[in-house]
């Protein structure tokens, strides 16, 4: 977290140096914003420990926003996040003896609509010092649950531990809110909390019931589907409860982000259009009073 804060501070100084180079930068409104940041992620599912609402697992994100007006923006964002869960931290003896666990390094792509609860001015630098906001939208996540067994890490999905061939891609609905702190005319620091409703129960590879061991031909798959014997417990009976299929998994994302209002000149078509080598952009002659632009008096 200290490294993240240092990166944000250096980025602010760099961006403000560029912004301060021209007094006329504020003439053009800035409707595009670059955003980046990081924080922690928290998993909610069958392997979630009791009364644990905050996991120290990292996340990093980057994206682009477009302002429709002073209160509504649209943000598209890429997110990398890690989730973990383990029966070992549970306070319920029956859960501890199940002895399942997972870790996953996942990715998400989403588009959300952001609504600022306080209206700003017509120009980007006329926004409030502190602006609360809410957001919701849609996206998808690619989840990759893994588990360690005998000193090696195995991807769980391919072993079909419950006899189910589930997709690694799941639809998500991001929702949440945050606070935008104006630290300069072209820069915000954002504190954001986001919750992801998902449409899968396999973020952790645990959902329903144990299946008959005779269905497994791979000894690794057989070992990963029932981890109770590893701690001296009896093997679970086929049909026994392994997870709760009535509730999908979910996750939360807690982030600190930096938002930079991109100068309009950077996105200008004239800046992108190439000119022949050795030439300079032409300047339009002033239309002096009493003369036509293309002719005499």
- Flag whether 292 is in a domain: no
Q: What domain range is 88 assigned to?
A: 2-272
* Count: domains in the chain: 1
Evaluate the CA torsion angle 203, 208, 209, 215 in order and state its sign: negative
Considering the domain boundaries, does residue 287 fall inside one?
Answer: no
- In this prediction the pTM is 0.82
Tens-of-pLDDT digits for all 297 residues of the chain? 555 445 544 444 444 444 444 444 455 678 899 999 999 999 999 999 776 778 889 999 999 999 999 899 999 999 999 999 999 988 889 899 999 999 999 999 999 999 999 988 777 788 889 999 999 999 999 999 999 999 999 999 999 999 999 999 999 999 999 999 999 999 999 999 999 999 999 999 999 999 999 999 999 999 999 999 999 999 999 999 999 999 999 999 999 999 999 988 776 644 545 555 565 655 555 555 544 444 444
On whether the CB atoms of residues 177 and 133 are closer than 8 A, the answer is yes
148 in a domain, yes or no? yes
The one-character DSSP state at 186 is T
297 belongs to a structural domain = no
**Does a structural domain hold residue 280?**
no
Is residue 201 assigned to a domain? yes
Residue 33, judged by CB atoms within 10 A of its CB (0-12, 13-18, 19+), counts as buried
Q: Strands 72-86 and 57-67, how do they pair?
A: antiparallel
Q: In this structure, is residue 229 part of a structural domain?
A: yes
Domain with residue 128: its CATH number is: 2.40.160.20
Residue 61 included in any domain: yes
């Amino acid at each position: 977290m200290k490294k993240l804060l240092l990166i944000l501070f250096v980025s602010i100084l760099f961006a403000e140096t560029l912004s301060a180079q021209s007094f006329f930068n504020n003439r053009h409104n800035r409707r595009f914003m670059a955003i980046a940041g990081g924080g922690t992620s928290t998993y909610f599912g069958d392997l979630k420990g009791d009364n644990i609402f905050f996991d120290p697992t990292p996340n990093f994100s980057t994206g682009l926003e477009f302002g429709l007006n002073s209160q509504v923006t649209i943000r598209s964002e890429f997110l990398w996040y890690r989730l973990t869960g383990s029966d070992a931290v549970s306070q319920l003896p029956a859960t501890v003896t199940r002895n399942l666990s997972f870790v996953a390094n996942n990715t998400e792509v989403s588009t959300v609509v952001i609504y600022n609860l306080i209206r700003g001015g017509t120009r980007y630098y006329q926004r409030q010092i502190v602006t609360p906001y809410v957001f919701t939208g849609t996206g998808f996540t690619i989840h990759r649950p893994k588990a360690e067994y005998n000193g090696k890490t195995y991807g769980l999905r391919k072993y079909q531990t419950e006899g189910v061939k589930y997709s690694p891609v799941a639809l998500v609905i991001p929702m949440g809110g945050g606070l935008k702190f104006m630290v300069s005319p072209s820069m915000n620091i954002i504190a954001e909390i986001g919750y992801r409703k998902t449409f899968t129960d396999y973020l952790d590879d645990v959902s329903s019931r144990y299946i008959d061991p005779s269905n497994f031909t791979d000894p690794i798959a057989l070992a990963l589907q029932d981890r109770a014997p590893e701690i001296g417990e009896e093997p679970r009976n086929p049909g026994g409860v392994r997870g709760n299929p009535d509730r999908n998994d979910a996750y939360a994302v807690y982030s600190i982000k930096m938002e930079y209002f991109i100068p309009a000149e950077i996105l200008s078509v004239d800046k992108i259009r190439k000119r022949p080598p050795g030439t300079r952009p032409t300047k339009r002659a002033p239309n002096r009073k009493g003369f036509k632009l293309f002719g005499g008096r």
